[in-house]
Structure 1
Amino acid sequence: MLDVATHQSRAKFYASSEWKALRQSCLERDHYECQWCREQGRLTTQYDSVLEIDHIKELKFHPELATDIDNLRTLCKDCHNKRHDRMNYRGNRKKRKWDDEWW
């Protein structure tokens, strides 16, 4: 089973030729489109955003599914960040107190 306990072991996995080939297969299967955007009727491709491959069942909890293509999907960077609740996705920004003031 894949060791994903450390950042270094995950980095080694993501740098492997096996992962790179699997990533490419996933992109081709998903027609180079973000699957979450597609579900919402939007088209986000490699020309609109960086496309990333998401483990549906997270790698750290299910390392046995690391190379299972049925556990992978293509997401744009924003959707992938949103999915993992990362701070840097471009979702709805908070309205700042003085944004509506013009003086």
Structure 2
Amino acid sequence: MPEYKTYEQKKRFYRSKPWLTLRQAALERDNHECVHCKKEGKVTVDSIKTPGERKEVKLNVDHIYPIEHYPKLALTLDNLQTLCVYHHNVKEGRIFKPKKNKWAGDEWW
């Protein structure tokens, strides 16, 4: 059973042909739409690649159960969901609420 603990192990996995094939299957299953946005009544679809330019990534295919802890589920379609970048960052804890300005209510004379 392969492990996916280090950056290099994950990088090798996410560049592998089995992952890229399964990733495409997950995108097609979810109609290239973020599943969380869809629940909120919104639509977020991926951008279109323009020749000669770098494609802006709007959708990620996310492992519901992380591969670091559940390596057996790494290549299981039912463990995947399509998320927009925002919802993926929220799920991974990478969105932080802005700090409250302690001076916001003060009067300036």
TM-score band by shorter chain is 0.7 to 0.9
Q: Where in structure 2 are the equivalents of 1:12-23 lying within 5 Å?
A: 12-23=12-23
CA shift, 1:100, in A, is 8.5
SS in structure 2 opposite 1:75?
strand
SS in structure 1 opposite 2:82?
strand
* Structure 1 gaps, min length 5: none
One-letter amino acid matched to 1:58: P
The worse-fitting range, judged by mean Cα deviation, of 30-39 and 47-56 is: 47-56
- Measured in 2, the distance between the counterparts of 1:17 and 1:99 equals 53
Question: Quick one: structure 1 residues 42 and 15, their matched pair in 2 at CA, closer, same or farther if it must change by over 3 Å?
Answer: same
Q: Where in structure 2 are the equivalents of 1:25-64 lying within 5 Å?
A: 25-47=25-47, 50-64=58-72
- TM-score, length-normalised on structure 1? 0.82
Q: State the Cα RMSD in Å.
A: 2.3
The answer to whether the 8 Å contact 2:33/2:45 transfers is: yes
Equivalent residue for 1:66, pick from 70, 74, 80 = 74
The runs of 4+ residues in structure 1 deviating greater than 2 Å are: 91-101
- TM-score, length-normalised on structure 2? 0.78
- Measured in 1, the distance between the counterparts of 2:105 and 2:18 equals 52
Q: How many residues align?
A: 99
Percentage of pairs with the same residue? 39
* Structure 2 gaps, min length 5: 48-55
Question: Quick one: structure 1 residues 97 and 10, their matched pair in 2 at CA, closer, same or farther if it must change by over 3 Å?
Answer: same
One-letter amino acid matched to 2:9: S
The answer to whether the 8 Å contact 1:54/1:74 transfers is: yes
